[in-house]
Amino acid sequence: MLEKIVKPNDIKKIPEERLPELAEEIREFLIRSLSCTGGHLASNLGVVELTIALHRVYNLPKDKIIWDVGHQAYTHKILTGRKEQFDGLRKEGGISGFPRREESACDSFDTGHSSTSISAGLGYVKARELKNKKYSVVSVIGDGALTGGLAYEAMNNAAELKTNFVIVLNDNEMSISKNVGGISDYLGGLRTSSAYTGFKMGVSSALEKIPGIGPELVNALRKTKSSIKQMVIPGMLFENMGLTYLGPVNGHNIRQLTKVLAEAKRFEGPVLVHVVTEKGRGYAPAMRHPARFHGTSAFEIETGLPVKRSNPTYTDIFSTVMRKMGDREPDVVAVTASMSEGTGLKRFANMFPRRFFDVGIAEGHAVTFAAGLALGGLIPVFAVYSSFLQRGYDQLLHDVCMQKLHVIFAIDRAGLVGSDGKTHQGCFDLSYLSMMPDMTIMAPKNKWELSDMMKFAVHCQGPVALRYPRGEAYTGLEEFRAPIEAGKAEVIREGSQIALLAVGNMVKIAEEVADRLQERGVSATLVNMRFVKPFDRDLLKKLAENHPVFVTMEENVESGGFGQQVLAFCGEAGLDVSVCIAAVPDCFIGHGSVDWQRKQTGLDADSILERIDKLRERQENRK
Ligand SMILES: Cc1ncc(C[n+]2csc(CCOP(=O)(O)OP(=O)(O)O)c2C)c(N)n1
Ligand SMILES: CC(=O)[C@@H](O)[C@H](O)COP(=O)(O)O
Ligand SMILES: [Mg+2]
């Protein structure tokens, strides 16, 4: 039946009774396809029926479906004519793992970061009103994404709406790991209380329909503070915020879903439809291990085991360091914004549950919360992906740096991240952190240095950021393990002519560049900068005496990055050197392999050598 779906709205031609069969076909397709490419399997398996129901009720591309995070939009892609492109999912030139407006007119909003869907949807609704347009808007948000503050700002704002806006809450009790916090408990209560009250499938509750006393009774209940009302009027929290609540609905029953969505679509005002789904549904390994199958690499279908075993990653090293540090340093506590698996904090959480805090998908809160922990005498380590820390920009500046608080930021996925693409690139942190007064920034060249830097960070003062990339930890240069000294770089290889000033994982690329320069008879000094802030100005002054060319290398945008700071310093200090900056150019870098992204950004050894050759040629011509 799946072959009949080649363009948007083809789903409407399938007889209703055959839809469950189609859902199973889609599941089989997803499992088969992702077993080869990898991707966000568990979340997608959970929303197959919900997506089918949405596409039955709404007309695309006229109507707007906005997927929160967007990692669960694979069935949406299949139903809008992109099934044949799944071989290239998340690969260079292939389709993205997230909704992309450039990819299809049916993708209404580009996503990747969490909790944006209600704000964006509300924006569409307001534009529709002002421009007198006729289309429907539905935002689909998960229970994990609903732990993010932005979602509440948007709901608060939506309460005043007089025209239709549907928010579908996809509740599977999971963020990447088990969902946490008060809202998650509240949703749990709704799921249980529905056992007593039945679903609220219509815009007016069953109670309201009781002739004579119904509306008064509902009004009176709304005014009481009694917890009993939760049992009588489901979704009171949302109702009190001004949204009409419908549900909870079985998210795997297409008929029931279609009915409630059609009802919600007719309502004048904001409506929240609470849908209960199962993450990983239909594939036993994903149902057993939804967190592992949240985002998976290629796997064997029979066992669910990964096709390739990877060597220890920087995350694995950080995980071990944190576990050991937990033993040695009783004041060290760990904070995550719903990323305990991805950042490697799971082991710390298991060993020191009282010193571990999962705050939900709330990076801004996590930073200020860590500030409070530091003021209370603890040493908080906030482990976070570079790209998601962008959410905590003001909190970093205002709450941590301004008070010079000793908070450690363990910044994972710093640099190019591969298949998640432009929404997840960790290419901005050196720029946005460097401009913050009192911030110390370090980047390790290999796995041992990550461990040494973490230990150093614990005994520092003030805010400290330690950034390291996604993937396998470098095990080269083991013999270079001089103690970490504040603001001091490490010279790996001494030469003359060209100084390669490399940050973090670029040291490995710099080694290759240095070797290839040597083959051509060019002598290069290779420096592992270790610190981006403060960087080793004394060393740079010394190097300038016999190196007319500095080449800076960083997996960060050029603007405001390490290279530009070196360039500015050389100018201020009157150093007679040419500075060549190898950094990410001023554009968003799409999905694909990290090697491909490195070539695209000119950060591979070939591209850097090419630039060095051109620079030297220009210098020769000038002589
Ligand atoms: C700002 C931000 N922080 C963290 C993440 C990483 N992340 C992606 S999906 C996800 C869990 C989302 O849970 P939910 O919305 O319930 O969707 P589900 O996977 O359960 O379908 C997290 C934490 C993100 N994408 N954006
Ligand atoms: C959708 C999302 O934001 C995360 O699931 C992210 O894709 C995880 O990336 P890693 O694979 O680098 O942990
Ligand atoms: Mg969820």
pLDDT tens for 285-306 read 999 999 999 999 999 999 999 9
Q: What pLDDT, on the 0 to 100 scale, is given for residue 196?
A: 46
Ligand 1 binding pocket mutation candidate from 114, 167, 389 (most atoms within 8 A of CB): 114
Q: What pLDDT, on the 0 to 100 scale, is given for residue 234?
A: 76
Contacts of 394 (CB under 8 A, 6+ apart): 364
The residue ranges of every structural domain in the chain are 2-217+233-293, 314-467, 490-621
Give the residue-averaged pLDDT of 407-423: 98
Residues with CB under 6 A from ligand 1: 43, 46, 69, 71-72, 113-114, 142-145, 172, 174-176, 279, 294, 337-339, 361, 363, 388, 391
Give the residue-averaged pLDDT of 148-168: 97
Ligand sitting nearest the alpha carbon of 144: 1
Do residues 63 and 137 lie in contact, with contact meaning Cβ atoms separated by under 8 Å? yes
Domain 314-467 sits in which CATH superfamily?
Answer: Thiamin diphosphate (ThDP)-binding fold, Pyr/PP domains (3.40.50.970)
Q: Which residues are catalytic?
A: 279, 363, 391
579 forms beta bridges with 550
Give the residue-averaged pLDDT of 238-267: 96
Q: What pLDDT, on the 0 to 100 scale, is given for residue 132?
A: 98
Q: Is the entire prediction scored with pTM above 0.90?
A: yes
- The per-residue pLDDT for range 498-542, each reduced to its tens digit, is 999 999 999 999 999 999 999 999 999 999 999 999 999 999 999
Q: What is the CA radius of gyration of the chain?
A: 27
Ligand 2 binding pocket mutation candidate from 89, 100, 338, 424 (most atoms within 8 A of CB): 424
- The per-residue pLDDT for range 368-406, each reduced to its tens digit, is 999 999 999 999 999 999 999 999 999 999 999 999 999
CATH number of 490-621: 3.40.50.920
Query: Counting atoms of ligand 1 from 1, which one is nearest the CA of 46?
Result: 21
- The per-residue pLDDT for range 43-65, each reduced to its tens digit, is 999 999 999 999 999 999 999 99
On the question of a common fold for 2-217+233-293 and 490-621, the answer reads yes
Q: What pLDDT, on the 0 to 100 scale, is given for residue 222?
A: 55
pLDDT at 210 over 60: no
Give the residue-averaged pLDDT of 20-40: 98
Q: What pLDDT, on the 0 to 100 scale, is given for residue 131?
A: 98
172 is in an annotated binding site: yes
- The per-residue pLDDT for range 344-373, each reduced to its tens digit, is 999 999 999 999 999 999 999 999 999 999
Separation between Cα atoms, residue 536 and residue 521, nearest integer Å: 28
Contacts of 180 (CB under 8 A, 6+ apart): 147, 338, 358, 359, 360
Alpha carbon 11 to its chain's center: 31
pLDDT at 216 over 80: no
pLDDT at 231 over 60: no
350 is in an annotated binding site: no
Q: What pLDDT, on the 0 to 100 scale, is given for residue 198?
A: 62
144 is in an annotated binding site: yes
Separation between Cα atoms, residue 78 and residue 541, nearest integer Å: 58
ipTM: 0.99
DSSP 457: H
DSSP strands (E only) in 421-521: 440-442, 464-467, 490-493, 498-502
- Average pLDDT in the chain: 94
Query: Measured in angstroms, how far is the CA atom of residue 41 from the centroid of ligand 1?
Result: 13
DSSP H helices in 105-250 = 117-130, 149-158, 182-197, 214-223, 228-232, 236-240
Largest distance between two CA atoms of the chain = 98
DSSP strands (E only) in 558-619: 578-584
Containing 540, the helix (H) or strand (E) segment is helix 537-543
**pLDDT band of 194, cuts 50, 70, 90:** low
Separation between Cα atoms, residue 550 and residue 360, nearest integer Å: 43
- The per-residue pLDDT for range 119-139, each reduced to its tens digit, is 999 999 999 999 999 999 999
Residues with CB under 6 A from ligand 2: 69, 71, 294-295, 342, 413, 417, 420, 470
pLDDT at 230 over 60: no
CATH number of 2-217+233-293: 3.40.50.970
pLDDT-above-70 percentage for the chain: 94
